[in-house]
Amino acid sequence: MKIIKFIIILFVSFKNFGQTKSVIFHNENGEQVTKEQFYKTKDNRKNLDLYFEKDSIQYGVLIKRQRFGQLDKKTFRTLKNYVTELSDVTIDTTQNIVINYLTANTKKIDNKKSKSTWNVLDKNYLKKLHKIANINQFWINSPECDNLNYYHQNKINWITDNDDLFKKIFFPYQVKDANYILIKPDGKFYYYIGEHSKYQIWELSKKYFN
């Protein structure tokens, strides 16, 4: 998790990337690389390029889109208690968990009649997901989201991450679109950052939970 710690220290705010200023580039491991090396290893299928500014210095950082990890018992217990408190749904110790997490970095839609066509919001998404394994699924959004109406708030039970706990544990940086997390009963987890579909979640859940 070296890169996670690196970004937490580095991150102040996401700003428009000024190409006229000098930039310090880092790869997925947090190591400084040349501009040429940075763009050569940039691959949207595997990583995302994020840009930050601190003390008038700009940084380009590559972030892996997917990671496997293990929550320690205390953190996992805190997470489950937190989700239960937010949702009034008790998580059974034998249940797998799927979190669909909506980031703050999404554009507000002024046209209230406009709705997202993202297929994770389709009716059959949950129906098929629950057939894969014993899963408890939750829709979580960043407290900075201001366009939940666009994401079918009238049909989807979005729950606000008031304490930014998911950001602190999994996402110390902001990316466009949404992320998802798969968590096993023993605290082992997998997460994917950025744009994805219901088919991707279904396939990964089959491999991960079974």
For 144-186, the pLDDT digits (tens) are 888 888 899 889 999 999 999 998 999 877 777 789 999 999 9
How far is C-alpha 42 from the chain's CA centre? Answer: 19
Which residues have CB under 8 Å from 209's CB, separation 6+? Answer: 96, 132, 133, 135, 182, 184
Answer yes or no: are the C-beta atoms of 105 and 174 closer than 8 Å: yes
What integer pLDDT is reported at residue 11 of this predicted model? 47
Give the pLDDT band of residue 85 (cuts 50, 70, 90).
very high
Answer yes or no: are the C-beta atoms of 58 and 17 closer than 8 Å: yes
For residue range 1-50, list pLDDT tens digits in order. 545 555 544 444 444 444 456 899 999 888 999 999 999 999 988 998 98
pLDDT of 201 above 90: yes
Mean pLDDT, all residues of the chain: 86
Our CA dihedral for 29, 35, 41, 43, rounded to 10 degrees, sits at 110
Give the pLDDT band of residue 111 (cuts 50, 70, 90).
low
Percent share of the chain, pLDDT over 70: 86
What integer pLDDT is reported at residue 21 of this predicted model? 63
For residues 109-120, average pLDDT = 78
Return the closest-CA partner of residue 126 out of 140, 141, 138: 138
Give this prediction's pTM: 0.83
Which position has the token pair 């304490």?
163
Burial of 25 (0-12, 13-18, 19+ CB in 10 A): buried
Return the closest-CA partner of residue 163 out of 89, 78, 90: 78
Which position has the token pair 């299928």?
45
What integer pLDDT is reported at residue 144 of this predicted model? 86
What integer pLDDT is reported at residue 20 of this predicted model? 53
What integer pLDDT is reported at residue 99 of this predicted model? 97
What integer pLDDT is reported at residue 114 of this predicted model? 80
